[in-house]
Amino acid sequence: MERREFLVASAATAAAVALPKDAGAEQPVIPHYAGRKILIAGGGFNTAYIRLMAQLTGKPRPRICYLPTASADSPSGTITFFRNCSPLNVEPFAQNSFIESLSQKQGWDEVLLSMDGIVVSGGNTLNQQAIWKAQGIDVVLKEAWDRGIVLGGASAGSLCWFEEGTTDSRPKALSIVKCLGFIKGSHSPHYDAEAGRRPLYHKLIGSGEMKPGYACDNDAGIYFEETEPKRFVTTRDAAKVYHVSATGGVVNERAFAVERIN
């Protein structure tokens, strides 16, 4: 295969792509936690995050699948994912959700449970959750998590793992969305990138309408083992991660020290 040539998955299939190995981009096999793992970012799940996800799998050439349900299987998002994978020693795949059975010959479990990591796209979280539940993808993702397959993503791909959070999935204004609940509490992505995110998150947590939780600026993220945060990371020095809670209606926002990943 020519260098950088790849095959993007169609709307009906999960496509495997044989990207060339780059000796300078070999992924070290690091000691890894064998249990349940989630890696999120508030926005911008780029090459640095995919590299970290690959390391967390403990595999020398992990199989990483892109799940673009929230973006309505946007081809441009899938292409960007493959481009982000191209410097890495990973085997990238894409699994669309808008499929039909004549072409989609494997079940959701056959595809997703064969992976070492799953990256969920950004987009409309409310629609993503509805489609996953209708198709049974939510059940398969829970099994993937229980098996130690590394889950992750940014925006809708970070919000989806929590019990609830703030979303722009409905018309007119930011609102609350209920999600998978793998990680207890709430989440706000894009904390520094969209003006309405921080004040709404404070308001909802301060009033008790939303559970305490974690807010991530774009480019900043959290690695969870089971449901506990183990690392706070960033690809941009100014980007931060926060825990937001309330006591007696008074909101407390605590920033974490973050480590730079590349």
Active site residues: 155, 190
45 contacts 154 by C-beta, under 8 angstroms:
yes
258 contacts 240 by C-beta, under 8 angstroms:
yes
As a whole number of angstroms, the distance between CA 225 and CA 36 comes to: 6
Q: Which of 85, 103, 76, 96 is nearest to 14 (CA)?
A: 96
Determine the distance from the C-alpha atom of residue 112 to the mean position of all C-alpha atoms in its chain, rounded to a whole number. 14
